[in-house]
């Protein structure tokens, strides 16, 4: 037998045997991973079940819940997740047992999408409690948050009046307005809508929202294959790192203003705590944690506030009778001469109920971010 024949036999055996070994390994791993998990559908290698989601993954998940129950498992890419599809079960997990489900999932495809693999970036859990303590402070809410939102609302109304109330790109205006209000809470002043810093933040947020899609089978396939074929994939898409860099510039500017006695802002309160603790400062309060928290808050604000406002506008447009009742209550309590305040909502039960109903109907975060338990 010639060397060429031997080589041909080896190649033929590899071509025939390798797929068999891969399929066998996949089946064994699939059976082992699902041993102690809720029931769920079978999945394909690399892409999991996401290839069957089409353009309406929520419909596909609803159909799966009818077959497998309100608690079932499904593969998204190479990751196995547990899906809760019942209001009662979701409430039990995220409200009644919130502490047990408070952490975020470290998805490989999410990590390679928003965090460069060559950089160690801690999770947003670092410093989260301190950030919430700042935002939850009643005095901070009154003097900083309400003030910045009021200024932004005035500018938003002015912009809408300038266009005669007819804007073809209302979504873009809402996006930059809500993001600008959040940046105002950070810094104590609002940006012009054409400001380079604000536009850089918005560009990153828009691109990230398009990229970070857990239920995209094309994304899952490209990332899972990319992990084995090339090492540059994660470096091409590093939005979180870029957003953190923008926040670094904002923090540096506010740090200079803090020394000149600038009023309290989110950044300045955090920096003041760093200066107060000195060498005894805890890891989660360092400057790098501050920058990550700013980036995380901007993302959360962008996803939640923007979607809520746009959904609310569409809902009220579709239901003019509800719009009229909301407007009447606002006219009675607030009138037409001033901007609403935080305390006004307590006197407007119908407006408050409408807002809560809009949030309830719109599953803003159900398919964007996932949770994990602490165990």
Rounded alpha-carbon distances, angstroms, from residue 50 to 43, 102, 215, 221: 8, 25, 6, 10
Q: Give the DSSP H/E element, type plus range, for residue 312.
A: helix 287-318
CA distance 21 to 167: 58
Q: In this structure, what DSSP letter does residue 81 have?
A: E
CA distance 223 to 76: 12
Summarize the chain as % helix, strand, coil (round to 5): 70, 5, 25
Among positive and negative, which fits the CA dihedral 217, 223, 228, 230? positive
Domains present along the chain, CATH in parentheses = 1-111 (no CATH), 128-313 (1.10.630.10)
Residues 6+ apart with CB under 8 A from 185: 135, 144, 145, 148, 265, 266
Helix segments in 100-238, DSSP class H:
108-114, 128-136, 138-140, 146-162, 170-187, 196-211, 217-229, 233-236
CA distance 203 to 188: 22
Task: Judge contact between 108 and 234, C-beta under 8 A.
Answer: no
Amino acid 293: pLDDT: 86
Return the bridge partners of 71, or none: 84
pTM for the predicted model, two decimal places: 0.66
CA distance 367 to 375: 23
Residues 6+ apart with CB under 8 A from 358: 308, 311, 312, 315
Task: Judge contact between 45 and 22, C-beta under 8 A.
Answer: yes
Amino acid 161: pLDDT: 82
Give the pair of three-digit tokens for residue 115. 């965090």
Give the pair of three-digit tokens for residue 346. 């307590």
Amino acid 334: pLDDT: 92
Amino acid 6: pLDDT: 53
Q: Can you give the pLDDT of all 375 residues of the chain as single tens digits? A: 565 555 555 555 555 555 655 555 555 555 555 567 888 887 776 677 777 776 677 788 888 888 888 888 887 777 778 888 887 888 888 778 777 766 555 544 444 444 443 343 344 455 777 888 888 888 888 888 888 998 998 898 888 888 776 666 788 888 889 999 999 999 888 898 889 999 999 998 888 776 655 555 455 445 454 444 444 444 445 677 888 889 988 888 877 766 655 567 888 888 888 777 765 665 556 777 888 889 888 988 888 888 888 889 889 999 999 999 999 999 999 998 888 888 898 899 999 999 988 887 765 444 555 555 544
CA distance 334 to 143: 20
CA distance 108 to 335: 51
The C-alpha angle 202, 232, 367, rounded to 5 degrees, equals 50
> How many beta carbons lie within 10 A of that of residue 16, not counting itself?
9
Amino acid 349: pLDDT: 94
CA distance 368 to 213: 7
Task: Judge contact between 232 and 118, C-beta under 8 A.
Answer: no
Amino acid 348: pLDDT: 94
Name the CA radius of gyration of the chain, rounded: 25
Q: How far is CA 63 from the centre of its chain?
A: 25
Amino acid 108: pLDDT: 47
Amino acid 27: pLDDT: 55
Task: Judge contact between 155 and 138, C-beta under 8 A.
Answer: no
Task: Judge contact between 54 and 62, C-beta under 8 A.
Answer: no
């Amino acid at each position: 037998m010639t060397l060429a024949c031997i080589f041909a036999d080896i190649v033929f055996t590899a071509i025939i045997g390798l797929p068999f070994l891969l399929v066998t390994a996949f089946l064994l791993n699939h059976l082992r991973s699902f041993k102690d998990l809720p029931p769920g559908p079978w999945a394909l290698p690399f892409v999991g079940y996401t290839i069957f989601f089409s353009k309406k993954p929520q419909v596909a998940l609803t159909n799966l819940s009818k077959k497998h129950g309100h608690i079932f498992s499904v593969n998204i890419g190479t990751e196995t997740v547990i899906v809760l599809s019942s209001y009662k079960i979701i409430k039990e997990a995220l409200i009644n047992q919130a502490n047990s489900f408070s952490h975020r999932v470290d998805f490989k495809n999410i990590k390679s999408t928003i965090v460069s693999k060559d950089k160690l970036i801690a999770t947003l859990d670092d410093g989260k409690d301190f950030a919430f303590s700042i935002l939850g402070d009643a005095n901070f809410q009154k003097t900083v948050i309400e003030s910045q939102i009021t200024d932004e609302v005035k500018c938003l109304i002015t912009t809408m009046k300038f266009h005669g109330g007819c804007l073809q790109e209302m979504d873009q205006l809402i996006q930059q307005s809500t993001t600008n209000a959040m940046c105002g809470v950070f810094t104590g002043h609002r940006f012009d809508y054409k400001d380079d810093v604000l536009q850089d933040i918005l560009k990153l947020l828009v691109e990230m929202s398009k990229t970070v899609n857990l239920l995209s089978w094309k994304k899952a396939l490209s990332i899972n294959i990319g992990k084995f074929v090339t090492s540059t994939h994660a470096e091409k898409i590093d939005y979180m790192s870029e957003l953190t860099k923008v926040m670094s510039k904002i923090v540096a500017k506010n740090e200079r203003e803090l020394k000149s006695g600038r009023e309290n802002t989110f950044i300045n309160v955090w920096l003041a705590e760093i200066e107060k603790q000195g060498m005894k400062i805890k890891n989660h309060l360092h400057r790098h944690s501050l920058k990550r928290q700013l980036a995380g808050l901007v993302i959360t604000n962008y996803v939640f506030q923007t979607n809520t406002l746009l959904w609310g506008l569409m809902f009220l447009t579709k239901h003019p009778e509800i719009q009229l009742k909301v407007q009447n209550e606002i006219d009675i309590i607030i009138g037409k001469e001033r901007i609403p305040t935080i305390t006004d909502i307590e006197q407007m039960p119908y407006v408050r109920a409408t807002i809560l109903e809009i949030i309830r109907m719109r599953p803003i975060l159900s398919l964007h971010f996932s949770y994990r338990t602490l165990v």
